[in-house]
Amino acid sequence: MAIRSEQSRLAILQATIRLLDEREHGSMSVQQLSIERIAREAGVSKATIYRWWSSKAALIIDTFLENHITSTTIKEDLPAIEALKEHAISLAQVYSGHEGALMAQLIAESQYDEATLADFKKSFFLPRREMINAVIRRAMEEGAIRDDLDINQVAEHIYSPIYFRLLFKEGSLDRDATGLSFDITMQGLKPS
Amino acid sequence: MAIRSEQSRLAILQATIRLLDEREHGSMSVQQLSIERIAREAGVSKATIYRWWSSKAALIIDTFLENHITSTTIKEDLPAIEALKEHAISLAQVYSGHEGALMAQLIAESQYDEATLADFKKSFFLPRREMINAVIRRAMEEGAIRDDLDINQVAEHIYSPIYFRLLFKEGSLDRDATGLSFDITMQGLKPS
Amino acid sequence: MAIRSEQSRLAILQATIRLLDEREHGSMSVQQLSIERIAREAGVSKATIYRWWSSKAALIIDTFLENHITSTTIKEDLPAIEALKEHAISLAQVYSGHEGALMAQLIAESQYDEATLADFKKSFFLPRREMINAVIRRAMEEGAIRDDLDINQVAEHIYSPIYFRLLFKEGSLDRDATGLSFDITMQGLKPS
Amino acid sequence: MAIRSEQSRLAILQATIRLLDEREHGSMSVQQLSIERIAREAGVSKATIYRWWSSKAALIIDTFLENHITSTTIKEDLPAIEALKEHAISLAQVYSGHEGALMAQLIAESQYDEATLADFKKSFFLPRREMINAVIRRAMEEGAIRDDLDINQVAEHIYSPIYFRLLFKEGSLDRDATGLSFDITMQGLKPS
DNA sequence: CGATAAACGAGACGGTACGTCTGGTCTTGTG
DNA sequence: CACAAGACCAGACGTACCGTCTCGTTTATCG
């Protein structure tokens, strides 16, 4: 039989994170990063990587998951609106650094491959959305958000300005700007 | 002396648009597209391409400009809010087709190169934003939009849901969905 | 592991010999011959050639070795002087054809690269010189050649007129001319 | 009208000699030297070079001629044999330095182009041979060399060991070695 | 003296090749 | 039988030259 080598798996993931690391020699972009290089760096055969990951993007997504990257908690004890606001602000702050660049590059890669986009959404979006949707639902119950809207569309309105700024490097991702943006959005979402 | 050959310039731009074209043999993505291939297809030396364009992305941007891609007009005779809405809807519709995919790929490329992002914004964003900003300003004067906000931020709120849907292929870009989304945003932007 | 492909090796050597062949389409010179072309002709990746040969010249030398080019036997049963003469004459005759041109081009290439010269001498010169030196030694013992000279210098005097004519295409390389030249040289080498 | 520009001609020749110069940045070989580079270095259009020289080799030959390279005088007041010996020795000494390398490279280039070989012989060989032939004739008259031989063949025997050593970098080109070699050759050429 | 014709610099152009890199696949031998 | 090691074909990378070809711009002769 010969089971999958955990040692190789880890070596590959660690080589990947090391090559993407901001403090290293130049910190490669996702585009510059090559399977070839990762294999060399990890002391692993290229075939082993291809055996277990379908694409460079899939490997990078796994690397992110393994390294608990870009997780933001939601404070359950606050009023729903404020919990959402805190979440938005902390997400924006995470995105203003190196992890934001990586996230932007993953979104970029997703434009070239359906499967990558699907994988990306499954791994990052849906889990987070489930959490956030619960809070949105709570806000609807609290009467702070219109309850005649699709929940996903509400989430979209909350997130989209943050991703816009991330991808276009336009406007700030700091606390104040994100808070103001959130308030405007909420003004549009509250019941009339 | 030795003037640039218009013939070569056109051959290059046309070969590029042809290779990116949706109806052709597979319709290459921006990533798959190579300078090598464009040169071969255009019957042109690679050096000629490198002489005039600093990167593949720069060439593609020029190709877009040359082909009047993704231009949407603004109806000046409507009330400002309705002009904005029409603009948003027609932009979303353009983005729901092949041109949307190309636009998404250009945004993707911009994540890997500062210069590309700058070029991209200069060529597509700023011109459009100038137009839209005038309408936003008119809406402020008409009292339909809060006049205490930065105009760019207002534009951001109008655009960001569209780009979110474009990039994440989540939610629809059709007339109804875009209209609803726009209405929500406007609700947040109108004076209290 | 991953052993060298004998199939590729042969394809490369055969493509090389084919391209250099006198009967083919123009018969390329060593200078005109390109790694690119050989790879294309052999149906082989350029990298495979670069992996195993350090330069075009090294590849051509191997091609020669593989094809038993320019080997001339020495008749052991003749008196030493006559064996040497026969050898000189047959070498000159070989050099008067296509193989002479290739040899001249290899000498030419050697002027531009130390390693090529060394490789060339190791592969062609030294083996032949060992054979010839034995005969020269026999001639010295037979009293036909001065035995106070360095053997290499004796060999040099025998060979140099042939290479002179080869490289300068001056004078003939036929049996009579080479024989006469050899006799003159021998007159200078015999004991006084 | 419009006569050839002496200024350009000189700039080209000087750029060439400078690029080939041993003291400069790496001292390019004839092979590495490119028309492109010479033109750039000379501040001259490529076309101007192509207008006046048929090949790189032709240009280099002209450069040599212009710079009185590798000229060796013959002492008329010595006995013919000694004049020849002095000539051979001083030629070998010239060839043991940078000029020898250039000469070797010109011989190399000549292997790839008939016209270059012809030009090379016409510019360097024949003039020198006329001088040397006169001395050989004198040696014949003095009874020091067999007078039943073709003069060119005599010259060949005198020169060939020197070129052999130059091209194969085998054996020395110093005074003693060249002198010994010359003596051996002369022993073969003197009347019996 | 002014027309004109060649020579010139500048450099764009289509090509060809360079040597390196990566993508994926396949093979061989080890643990 | 998963793995490392790495060979293999394919093909793109960006650069360097090739030799040809406009371009204006001198520059000298000739009408």
Q: What is the pLDDT of residues C166-185, one digit of tens each?
A: 999 999 999 999 999 999 99
Over the stretch A52-64, which tens digit does the pLDDT of each residue have? 999 999 999 999 8
Residue C69: pLDDT band (50, 70, 90) is: low
Residue D173: pLDDT band (50, 70, 90) is: very high
Region C155-169: what's the mean pLDDT?
Answer: 97
Nearest Cα residue in chain D from C28: D112
Q: Is the predicted pLDDT of residue A69 greater than 70, yes or no?
A: no
Region D31-47: what's the mean pLDDT?
Answer: 96
* Residue A180 sits at the chain B interface (C-beta within 8 Å): yes
Query: How many contacts does A have with B, using Cβ atoms within 8 A?
Result: 115
Over the stretch C100-125, which tens digit does the pLDDT of each residue have? 999 999 999 999 999 999 999 999 88
Alpha carbon distance A78, A82 (integer Å): 6
How far lies D138's CA from each of A16, C56, D154, D160, in Å?
83, 48, 13, 21
Give the pLDDT score at C76. Answer: 81
Give the pLDDT score at A5. Answer: 73
Q: Is the CB of B192 under 7 A from strand E?
A: no
Give the pLDDT score at B70. Answer: 65
Give the pLDDT score at A3. Answer: 73
What positions of strand F are covered by protein, i.e. any atom < 7 Å from a CB?
1-30
* Residue C153 sits at the chain D interface (C-beta within 8 Å): yes
How many other CB atoms are there within 10 angstroms of residue A69's CB atom?
A: 15
Nearest to D108 among C108, C180, C187 (CB): C108
| CA of residue C163 to C1' of nucleotide F5, angstroms | 47
Give the pLDDT score at C23. Answer: 72
Q: Please tell me the least confidently modeled range out of D60-74, D99-113, D148-162.
A: D60-74
Region D18-46: what's the mean pLDDT?
Answer: 91
* Residue A163 sits at the chain B interface (C-beta within 8 Å): yes
User: To the nearest whole number, what is the mean pLDDT of chain A?
Assistant: 91
Asked if the Cβ–Cβ distance from C167 to D111 is below 8 Å, we say yes
Looking up tokens 């010189």, which residue turns up?
C129
What positions of strand E are covered by protein, i.e. any atom < 7 Å from a CB?
4-31
Region C87-95: what's the mean pLDDT?
Answer: 95
Which residue's CA is nearest to the C1' of nucleotide E31?
A2
Q: Is the predicted pLDDT of residue A25 greater than 70, yes or no?
A: no
Contact residues, chain C, for D169 at CB < 8 Å: 117
Contact residues, chain A, for B110 at CB < 8 Å: 167
Give the pLDDT score at B27. Answer: 80
Give the pLDDT score at B191. Answer: 93
Q: Is the predicted pLDDT of residue A154 greater than 70, yes or no?
A: yes
| CA of residue C39 to C1' of nucleotide F10, angstroms | 12
Looking up tokens 């609700």, which residue turns up?
B187
Q: Is the predicted pLDDT of residue B11 greater than 60, yes or no?
A: yes
Token duo for residue A188:
């549009």
Crossing angle of helices B151-168 and A151-168, in 10° steps, is: 110
Q: Is the predicted pLDDT of residue A24 greater than 70, yes or no?
A: no
Contact residues, chain A, for B169 at CB < 8 Å: 117
Q: How many residues does chain A have?
A: 192
Chains in contact with chain A (at least 3 beta-carbon pairs closer than 8 A): B
Q: Is the predicted pLDDT of residue D2 greater than 80, yes or no?
A: no
Pick C156 or D70 by higher pLDDT. Answer: C156
Residue C67: pLDDT band (50, 70, 90) is: confident
Q: Is the predicted pLDDT of residue A1 greater than 60, yes or no?
A: no
* Residue D40 sits at the chain C interface (C-beta within 8 Å): no
Q: Please tell me the least confidently modeled range out of A95-99, C25-29, D158-162.
A: C25-29
With beta carbons less than 8 A apart as the criterion, state whether A70 and A94 touch: yes
| CA of residue D56 to C1' of nucleotide F12, angstroms | 32
E strands within B39-183? none
Nearest to D189 among C107, C156, C184 (CB): C184
Q: Please tell me the least confidently modeled range out of A151-160, D19-28, D138-147.
A: D19-28
Dihedral sign, Cα of residue B52, residue B56, residue B60, residue B61: negative
* Residue C122 sits at the chain D interface (C-beta within 8 Å): no
Contact residues, chain B, for A181 at CB < 8 Å: 153, 156-157
Best mutation target among A111, A113, A132 (most B Cβ atoms within 10 Å) is A111
| CA of residue D2 to C1' of nucleotide F29, angstroms | 8
* Residue C109 sits at the chain D interface (C-beta within 8 Å): yes
Alpha carbon distance C175, A148 (integer Å): 107
Percent of chain A with pLDDT over 70: 94
With beta carbons less than 8 A apart as the criterion, state whether A190 and A145 touch: yes
DSSP state string for C100-160: HHHHHHHHHHHTT-HHHHHHHIIIIIHHHHHHHHHHHHHHHHTTSS-TTS-HHHHHHHHHH
Give the pLDDT score at A79. Answer: 93
Give the pLDDT score at D37. Answer: 97
Alpha carbon distance D166, C110 (integer Å): 12
Q: Is the predicted pLDDT of residue D149 greater than 70, yes or no?
A: yes
Chains in contact with chain C (at least 3 beta-carbon pairs closer than 8 A): D
Residue A68: pLDDT band (50, 70, 90) is: low
User: To the nearest whole number, what is the mean pLDDT of chain D?
Assistant: 93
Give the pLDDT score at B24. Answer: 65
Give the pLDDT score at D175. Answer: 96
How far lies C176's CA from each of C88, C90, C170, C171, D161, in Å?
11, 11, 15, 11, 21
Asked if the Cβ–Cβ distance from B109 to A108 is below 8 Å, we say yes
Residue C17: pLDDT band (50, 70, 90) is: very high
With beta carbons less than 8 A apart as the criterion, state whether D129 and D152 touch: yes
